[in-house]
C-alpha cells in the first residue's frame, strides 16, 4: 500500500512538471482566497497529499475550479463543480484554506438555504459577494438553474444598491408590480426581480467569486 502511494505520488509529480513549468504552478496556477470553516459535504476527499497534488486533482476534473486544503492533516477537498447543495455540519469549526484555479472570476451556486445576512457572509468567506444580475439573460440563467433566492441587492436610504454598495439602475429587470416597498432585499421570480423580506425565509443564493480579479462573471 505504501509503495502504491509512492508510485501515485511520483506519477502526479511527473504530470505536474510536464504540464506546469517550475514555479508556474504556485504562481498563476492556483490562488489562495481565504480560510473557511463552513465546509461543503458534496466534495471529493483525498488524504495525505500535498497542496500542489490537491490542485491537480481539481484541475483534471472538467468543472472543478475551487478546492480546500488543510495543512495540519494534508487533507484535500475538491469541488467537483460550481454547485454546493449542503454544508457538512459535522465539520463545523474545522478550518481549511480555500483556493481557486487560474484566478478565474466565476459564480458559485448555493442550494443550501440561509437568510440574507448569513448568505452574504458566506459569499464573503468564499472570496466574493452575493451575485447581482445586470441583464435579462443573467436573470433567466439564474431562473434556469432554479436559483430563486437572494441576489446582491438591498434597499439603503430609499435606494437599491448592489453588494458592492453601488446604486443599482436596472429598472427593466424589476417585475412590473415590484418593488412594493415591503422588503429591503431582492430575489428572482418569474424571470424578474422582486423585493422581499430579508429575514422572513431562508433562501438559496449565488456568490460572485473573485470579483476583484476580472471584468465579469460567467454564468453557466
In the chain the domains, ranked by start, together with CATH numbers, are: 2-104 (3.50.4), 107-209 (3.10.100.10)
* Total Cβ atoms within 10 A of residue 60: 11
What's the pTM?
Answer: 0.81
Closest C-alpha among 105, 38, 52, 108 to residue 80: 108
Q: What residues are paired with 205 via a beta bridge?
A: 110, 150
Least confident of 16-20, 129-133, 139-143, 195-199: 16-20
The SS3 of residue 96 is: strand
Residue position matching grid coordinates 433567466:
140
The top-scoring range by mean pLDDT among 10-19, 68-77, 160-169, 202-211 is 68-77
Residue position matching grid coordinates 466565476:
106
Q: What local confidence, expressed as pLDDT, does residue 16 receive?
A: 56
Instruction: Report whether pLDDT(24) > 70.
Output: no
For 26-69, how does the pLDDT look when each residue is reduced to its tens digit (9 = 90+)?
A: 444 788 999 998 899 999 999 999 998 899 899 889 899 999 99
For 172-205, how does the pLDDT look when each residue is reduced to its tens digit (9 = 90+)?
A: 999 998 999 889 999 999 999 999 999 999 999 9
* Total Cβ atoms within 10 A of residue 30: 24
Amino acid at each position: 500500500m505504501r509503495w502504491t502511494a509512492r508510485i501515485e505520488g511520483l506519477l502526479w509529480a511527473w504530470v505536474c512538471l510536464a504540464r506546469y513549468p517550475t514555479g508556474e504552478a504556485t504562481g498563476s496556477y492556483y490562488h489562495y482566497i481565504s480560510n473557511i470553516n463552513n465546509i461543503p459535504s458534496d466534495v471529493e476527499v483525498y488524504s495525505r497529499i500535498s497542496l500542489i497534488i490537491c490542485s491537480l486533482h481539481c484541475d483534471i476534473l472538467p468543472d472543478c475550479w475551487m478546492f480546500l486544503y488543510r495543512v495540519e492533516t494534508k487533507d484535500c477537498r475538491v469541488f467537483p463543480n460550481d454547485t454546493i447543495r449542503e454544508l457538512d455540519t459535522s465539520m463545523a469549526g474545522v478550518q481549511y484554506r480555500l483556493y481557486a484555479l487560474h484566478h478565474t472570476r466565476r459564480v458559485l451556486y448555493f442550494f443550501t438555504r440561509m437568510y440574507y445576512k448569513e448568505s452574504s457572509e458566506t459569499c464573503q468567506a468564499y472570496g466574493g459577494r452575493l451575485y447581482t444580475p445586470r441583464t435579462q439573460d443573467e436573470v433567466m440563467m439564474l431562473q434556469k438553474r432554479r436559483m430563486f433566492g437572494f441576489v446582491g441587492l438591498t434597499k439603503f436610504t430609499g435606494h437599491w444598491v448592489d453588494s458592492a454598495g453601488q446604486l443599482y439602475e436596472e429598472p427593466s429587470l424589476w417585475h412590473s408590480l415590484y418593488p412594493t416597498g415591503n422588503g429591503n432585499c431582492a430575489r428572482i421570480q418569474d424571470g424578474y426581480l422582486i423585493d422581499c423580506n430579508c429575514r422572513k425565509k431562508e433562501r438559496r443564493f449565488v456568490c460572485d467569486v473573485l470579483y476583484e480579479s476580472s471584468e465579469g462573471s460567467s454564468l453557466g
